[in-house]
Structure 1
């Protein structure tokens, strides 16, 4: 049990997250996702969660484990081509995880996602959340456009709006 982590999560407030992810920042992220999806057939979502609470926190759930839960809760696996990609930020830990559905995971190696996550976490450690997320979306876009280029007009199966948990 990591006491420092538990305290960090229990003292995290929605106000702190909202100070970082203002309406303007969320709008910029939404536009970046819309722009991204024009270049590939993937379905991209960004989720920021302030902190874990309850059993997940006290049992030491990792950001990756939580990201997988969120991927499922948002039904990102329920796209026609199994092409959902989640960028998940657990704000209290400044930990980023990228979860890709099986249609994408078979082509883009997890090392590539880990590199993008690390770049985003580095930007966050410098206080650049907006830029870190937008550059992360751009990096994901480059990978998806390489392996899953846009086939013209495709339908948008998942919302582009960032999710705040």
Structure 2
């Protein structure tokens, strides 16, 4: 995508685009899915949907991956007891998905798996099924967390908010 096209997409798709991409009932369903998933494992999940990058980030030519890394830090996904937080980041302007796992889970999962999961979510996006794609990603990541960090004898505190972040 050339620079002008990229800028136009980002400037056109703002925070309101993220709100339009997922209905209010859809947000509630996704938040409940995060809560239900986290009840079965010791991991923490965060969902973030951004319409387009703000102008200062566009001027600095920030990539979707770099933005996801920044949000991973800003949303404190790295700051969990077991180092097993996961951020699922969706940038609508570029139809890009980034799934970032903290070092605890990352050590157990191959890069190919994350790539495959991102491709599955991308397929839903191309069809306009944002909520369904995010829901499937949540279920897949939740299954991984349950396999590697099951909620057993240890206390299972909710370390991060379950709310979907819309930017």
TM-score (norm 1): 0.93
- In the other structure, the counterpart of 1:155 is 157
Q: Secondary structure at the match of 1:47?
A: strand
Which residue number corresponds to residue 18 of structure 2?
17
2:43 & 2:31 partners in 1: Cα distance? Answer: 15
Aligned length: 165
Structure-1 separation of matches of 2:106 and 2:15: 32
Query: Which range moves more in the overlay, 75-84 or 64-73?
Result: 75-84
RMSD of aligned Cα (Å): 1.4
Q: 2:133 — aligned with what?
A: 132
Partner of residue 29, structure 1: 30
Structure 2 unaligned residues grouped into runs of 5+: none
Q: Contact (CA 8 Å) 2:87, 2:99: kept in 1 or not?
A: yes
2:166 aligned partner: 164
CA contact (8 A) 2:16 2:51 kept: no
2:16 corresponds to 1:5 = no
Alpha-carbon distance between aligned partners in 2 of 1:151 and 1:10, rounded to the nearest angstrom: 46
3-state SS in 2 of match to 1:85: strand
Question: Could you say what secondary structure the match of 2:133 adopts?
Answer: helix
Deviating above 6 A after TM superposition, structure 1's stretches of 4 or more consecutive aligned residues are: none
Is the partner of 2:108 in helix, strand or coil? coil
State the 1:13 CA deviation: 3.1
